[in-house]
Structure 1
């Protein structure tokens, strides 16, 4: 939108090739979202405090979390707002991939907001409930699939599933590809949501993943790079580099206030929406399995919950002291800051593994 406005106002007077270059827009959009968050963040935190939007802590959770009951939640509202308006200002809004991202961001953001609001009203951690949350997540994911593959006429028969680290081998899933795409969006959203349990724990891995996706967007969107690295070329996805830069800037701004000890939490409003956007971008880039590598930490956290539930219902025993995995280490007596930083390191390693994939031929 900003690009269109500059063209209209000054296009006949100035040489604007630098302003419209991808590099300039990536840098400009990053700082725009970062400083926008840093500016409005303190004001929003004060407003959330006045509205008494405080974190709801589970009674059966770690006792160290009781001190977090006076910390505002729903910081995802700021994340979504800054990201949304920065994308409108800095990206090419005629690129339909950008609108896929915005749809996932706002759709899952609404689900998270309603869930957070229900928690505040009920004064417990149930929110929408598992069924209600999953139903609406599925509804939005299926509608997004409908737009991608029916309205835009994206042919499933032309899509092969790219296998990371095996450049000359791919799978043709046919109609089953739609099921994979559905689980990538819903699974990514829920995995990020499950990981969001400690101060700053989830936002730094999100930054690492967005960095990996941003670099992947540039590679996949460049015909020469894609051919050289034996990966599918997708026209127009370079614009997602700008989107990733915006989300990284907003995430760093959020980390400024969310780092230990946190001044604000993102709540389901932020975790569900950012998780869904990450999954959506992986689908657009046709790198669904690469996302499993980049977001390896989130996968481990989600698997710990699945394993815990299966073992408890099947054998009446728990594998972990508490799931997700970060709570297990908390109950073992590991200090919260140490868990957070170690999980950041693990996430960084997964990002490097994902990027190494492009150099293996």
Structure 2
């Protein structure tokens, strides 16, 4: 547990100290955010706010993760694992895709960066490589970082995807969650605060999986997860990095995470759900991201079939803004909804354990 706390402390410190440096540098370089013309009128005042703040989140996560293993090496303990490195690698790869998108936006002074095809190809390549690697790296207990089964709180034995099906499933999950977090990042601090709560929930989940692992002492309700302790470190550094960034990103935001941060955080959500075997549970814990994604899908589907808009504007947080809610009201209420969904998800997770252990 000490290593997890050290990882979080390093990540928080790096994030909260690096972000203002990026604010100054990006402001001097003119790396300001462009705003959608059809968006809420109040958002136009944000034009020019530095973007690409997700760089601080990524650097903080890696600093916390690697720093914790310096402490581990001093103590003579083990090093990083395949599971942790693969999840962080996925987040970094998607962060690079997002960085390219953000850089094109600020360089060309427009609200559109990479086209949809280029962004989708980047997500596809990252997801496919991630999915293939997840089925390798067997440990002494013959566990890989993921299995080819669909999971809720543990594998659902009746639903086998096969190796090829699993890799395709990974692509769908990674693309879905990375876009979902990306859609959520439209209000000051909304994505960062919500992601911090989701990642915090996964610190508890992975720590519990580590305490009740089947290896080396199988017991009723134990978990067949390859590297739960390392995944707890990943979740902790992500939560801490989001909190440190939120200090500067909370309304009125002095910097935006941009696609650099939102795609990376979406990758973490996807990666943790797959490696902890909680893919369906993540829909509950990450319910806000899921609803934001579904609102965009529904808006497009209804508009293309009927020519009418289901919401005033999608993603759904803009619907409430255009309905008269203040931005801070939307943010706080959506944070509350995230807290409720996280609590519900943790309750379902623990309830399943009790039923298995009993």
Q: TM-score, normalised by structure 2?
A: 0.88
CA contact (8 A) 1:167 1:231 kept: no
Does residue 128 of structure 2 align to residue 142 of structure 1?
Answer: yes
Matching of residues 192-341 of structure 1 within 5 Å: 192-223=181-212, 230=221, 232-341=223-332
Deviations 1:14-59 (A, max 9, x none): xxxxxxxxx1112222121112222222222111110111111011
Residues 120-135 of structure 1: matches in 2 within 5 Å? 120-135=106-121
> Residue 46 of structure 2 is aligned with which of 68, 71, 80?
68
Residue of structure 1 equivalent to 2:17: 39
Partner residue of 1:7? none
Q: Is the 8 A contact 1:295 1:347 kept in 2?
A: yes
The alpha-carbon deviation at position 209 of structure 1 amounts to 0.8
Q: How far did residue 138 of structure 1 move?
A: 0.5
For residue 170 of structure 1, report the CA deviation from its aligned partner: 5.1
Number of residue pairs the alignment of both structures matches: 338
Task: Specify every segment of 5 or more residues in structure 1 that has no aligned partner in the other structure, as ranges.
Answer: 1-22
Question: Matched residues in 2 for 1:134 and 1:231: separation?
Answer: 38
Maintained 8 Å contact 2:146/2:275? no
Instruction: State the Cα distance separating 1:223 from its structure 2 match.
Output: 3.8
Q: TM-score, normalised by structure 1?
A: 0.87
142-151 or 223-232, larger mean C-alpha shift: 223-232
**Do the aligned residues in 2 keep the contact of 1:293 with 1:353 (CA within 8 Å)?**
yes
8 Å Cα contact 2:34-2:110 kept in structure 1: yes
Q: Does 1:104 align with 2:90?
A: yes
> How far apart are 1:132 and its partner, in Å?
1.0
- Structure 1 residue 171 and structure 2 residue 132: aligned? no
Contact 1:168/1:230, CA 8 A, preserved across alignment: no
The partner residue of 2:175 within 186, 198, 211 is 186
Instruction: Report if the CA contact (8 A) 1:156-1:177 is conserved.
Output: no
1:65-112 deviation digits (Å, cap 9, x = unpaired): 100013111101111111112211214544111210221122111100
- The CA distance in 1 between the partners of 2:17 and 2:225, in whole Å, is 36
User: What do the CA deviations read for 1:218-261 (whole angstroms, capped 9, x no partner)?
Assistant: 22233458966736421322111122211111111101001111
Deviation sequence 1:170-210 (CA, Å, 0-9, x none): 53333433332221112111100000000011111101111
Indicate the RMSD between aligned Cα atoms, in angstroms. 2.4
Judge which range, 178-187 or 126-135, deviates more. 178-187
Q: Deviation per CA, 1:108-137, whole angstroms, max 9, x where unpaired?
A: 111000000111122212210111101110
Change over 3 Å in CA distance of 1:169–1:30 after alignment to 2: same
* Residues 119 and 154 of structure 1: CA distance in aligned 2, closer, same or farther (over 3 Å): farther
Name which of structure 1's ranges 37-46 and 313-322 shifts more when overlaid on structure 2. Answer: 37-46
Change (3 A) 1:224 1:85: closer
